[in-house]
Amino acid sequence: MGELATLPVFFDLGAKRVVMAGGSAGAAWKAELLASAGAHVDFYAPSDDLDAEMAELLAAPPVVGRIHHHDQPWSADIFAGAAIAVGDVESEAEAQTFYCAAKAAGVPVNVVDKPAFCDFRFGSIVNRSPVVIGIATDGAAPILGQAIRRRIETLLPPALAGWAALASKIRADVMDRLAPGPLRRAFWERFSDRAFTTRTPDANAESDAQDFVAELARSPQAGGRVTLVGAGPGEAELLTLKAVRALQAADVILFDDLVSDEILELARREAKRMLVGKRATRESCRQEDINRMMVQFAKAGKHVVRLKSGDVSVFGRAGEELDELHRENIPVAIVPGITAASALAATFGVSLTHRDRAQQVRFVTGHSKQGGLPEDLDWRALADDHATTIFYMGGRMAPKIAARLIANGLPETTPVAVAANLSRDDETKAAGTLADLGAIVAQIGVDRPILIGVGRVFADHARAAATDQDEDTAEAVTG
């Protein structure tokens, strides 16, 4: 583990005495926080020194009884028996005096906005109690800490508090009936999945959880399951939150060779990773072997993540995998991913269904099971000047794709866009016309994962490419 600026800990203040001094708005927030944590707060400050916000807090019903106001300045004899002490004082001299008095009584102390006199600090908080998240920047950038808190707030559904409360109810049953290690983790991973995908625990949630505990206790293999996860085009930030959660809950990951290393880095460290990619002209893992491994690991009680580039439901052979898993009665879930066509639109900055240029978009495979051009496609329908057509895995077939479309009536001047390794650091892209498609793909490299877009939505890029080519030609002639 790398060095930590501070040690994050969680302090149980329930029914414990806390000493506070100072009546500012900042102190009011600290007092409310401590009272919310169940502390009995002895608060010392003359009434004349109270900020309006502090006076309002002291009168609020939720904290009456938890915050006891002593209408007097603090003194050195108030610290005995306190769990912690918090002081909001103005001068450095008073801060030092408050700090030394608390330390003499053996009490951890925080002096607001004076780090030199702090044994601990308050961070930004995300409250889904009993789930509580604290964020600290070691005093270096409090605003950054608040920004991080806002980001986390958007990731954690408010209903998570209800699921955490349910976890407290069933924890004893889990501890009693399930052995430590894989069985308990299998239960809590499945439970956590529900916590993030269900709004609130329904009336059956507790009994459902207890039934799953009993099932795991009878049959340790009952926790086995498969999740088909779309890894998107390559960039880790394009993963869905649900995909990240699946990766971090996996026991085994069977991944394609188009899945980037930065995505695999997000997976659970203990997960077994197995490359099962299938690529043209390379030694590949047979689909039958992939199916067999998924079934084998799932029946051993493992959570298997089948990680595919793009979206699992678009040319990912997910249908064959789903059929096999259903035949074996193995629970399976699908986590969609961003398909490569969307990444192509993003990298070229176009809409695939621009209302003035395309009334439909089609995703088409660029090669058949035999490795050649698919012969059962309706090429006449594909040669539509008012549609955008995206060809997946069509690099080697690019000249034939262009020839078929032209032969069926699509103009040679139809704009095309080609990209390889979309959204990655080594992404390459080019644009031109249908007549030049074979040459464009050859220039990018047919052995790379190629995506081809055909349609008038790419017209601006095709014109820009033609202009650049004319300028290069002119320079070569004048040179």
Which residue numbers are catalytic? 256, 278
* Cα distance from N-terminal residue to C-terminal residue, the chain: 59
Instruction: Write down the H helix ranges in 79-159.
Output: 92-104, 142-155
- Both structure tokens of 474: 């002119």
Alpha-carbon distances of 201 from 17, 193, 407, 415, rounded to whole Å: 35, 12, 59, 52
Return the amino acid letter for 166. L
Return the amino acid letter for 396. R
Q: Is the peptide bond before 130 cis (omega within 30 degrees of 0)?
A: yes
82 closest CA partner among 13, 7, 28: 13
454 closest CA partner among 357, 346, 309: 357
Determine the Cα angle at 424 with ends 420 and 428, to 5°. 35
Residue 453 and residue 416 in contact, taking contact as beta carbons nearer than 8 Å: yes
> Tell me, what DSSP letter sits at residue 310?
B
CA distance 381 to 363: 13
Q: What is the 3-state secondary structure (H, E, C) of 403-442?
A: HHHHHCCCCCCCEEEEEECCCCCCCEEEEEEHHHHHHHHH
Burial 1-32 (b: 16+ CB within 10 A, else e): eeeeeeeeeeeebeebbbbbbbbbeebbebbb
How are strands ordered across the β-sheet holding 360-365?
360-365, 387-392, 450-454, 415-420, 428-433
Partnered with residue 450 across adjacent β-strands are 420
